[in-house]
Amino acid sequence: MEMNSNRIVTFGEIMLRLATPGFQRFGQTQSFEATYGGGEANVAVSLANYGNNVEFITRLPKNDLGEACIGMLRRHGVSTEHTVRGGERIGIYFLEFGAAQRASKVIYDRSNSSFATIQPGMIDWRQVFTGADWFHWTGITPAVSQGSTEACKEAILVAREMGLTISTDLNYRAKLWKWGKNAGEVMSDLVALCDVALGNEEDAEKVFGIKAQEADVKAGKVASDQYRIVCEQLARRFPALHTIAITLRGSISASHNTWSGVLWKKGKFFTTAIFDILPIVDRVGGGDAFMGGLIHGLRKYPDEIQKALDFAAAAACLKHTIQGDFNLVTETEVENLMAGDGSGRVSR
């Protein structure tokens, strides 16, 4: 099937990521490894890797870090033509890698960032969406500030009016919802305007109070059949959603996870094989890798939903082997894993 040539647009904050080298703790390290990342940017890079025409929209400061960030996105094939400049600083997040029974830690330093101070009207969404047929945002964006919430809703309304498919990743971040409204209140209005939604095994519960009754995330019990009910309840609450996916991570330890996913589409329910991932190189961005794979799969295989879901799950599995936020794998590599080639043998 030919690749859809229409543009995909994603919108959100990209941050400077400062990670401790190796598995050092914050109190040990004397240096940090600097990269960039953020939910919607991660999705954009995945989509570009698979050959899609994709643009990432954000707001960055007019300084060298802003320039470096834009240059990095462009090197990965992501357009930044409509990114706006201004504000005081780029947001930062610090990452300490966990291992075995010690969990990873994230510390945000993003208050008053260029993106946090974005306002509606700063981006010409009609111009942005000309020639586009898909818009993606995540629950991180409205969590940042009231201004980013209003800008996101402005984008969704224009995208809906212009006939784009709209997707969201619920992406609940408890540390971010500090600006005055809670996640459920804000997200209900926005998700109601979407066509496709993704969540992890806990997002629907933490945002909307919809729980898989017999699941125990902390114990790693995330059986796929328990999440069909979650999908159905989300679909009843948000009738515009025709496709709902959930990623299922079984955390055996920080170094060893199982990974799979489920998808509900207009009453039909699909599941994937379970990947056993050991050792994990970097799990940050796993859900974004799934979302990027899912958008690509749904566009490339619109009549083969199982194949689209399998592509998403395999793509996210491979992300756990890549350092940094971005899933730097090709379509062929994902398809090889889908076909059962998970041996890791050298390709000569």
Each residue's pLDDT tens digit, 25-82: 999 999 999 999 999 999 999 999 999 999 999 999 999 999 999 999 999 999 999 9
Give the contacts of 246 (CB within 8 A, at least 6 positions apart): 198, 199, 200, 201, 204, 227, 230, 231, 261, 262, 263
In the chain, % of residues over pLDDT 70? 95
**Selection from 273, 275, 262, 256 nearest residue 235 by Cα:** 262
Each residue's pLDDT tens digit, 238-247: 999 999 999 9
DSSP H or E stretch at residue 331:
helix 331-338
- State the Cα–Cα distance between residues 107 and 117, nearest whole angstrom: 20
Is 259 a residue whose pLDDT tops 90? Answer: yes
Each residue's pLDDT tens digit, 171-220: 999 889 999 999 999 999 999 999 999 999 899 999 999 988 766 666 56
Each residue's pLDDT tens digit, 286-336: 999 999 999 999 999 999 999 999 999 999 999 999 999 999 999 999 999
Give the pLDDT band of residue 345 (cuts 50, 70, 90). Answer: low
pLDDT at residue number 348:
54
Pairing of strands 256-265, 268-271: antiparallel
Across the strands, what pairs with 126?
none
pLDDT at residue number 206:
94
- Give residue limits of the domains in the chain: 7-337
Which of 256-277 are b and which e, b meaning 16 or more Cβ less than 10 Å from the residue's Cβ? ebbbbbbbbbeeeebbbebbeb
Superfamily of domain 7-337 in CATH is Ribokinase (3.40.1190.20)
Which of 297-317 are b and which e, b meaning 16 or more Cβ less than 10 Å from the residue's Cβ? bbbbbeeebebbbbbbbbbbb
How much is the pTM?
Answer: 0.94
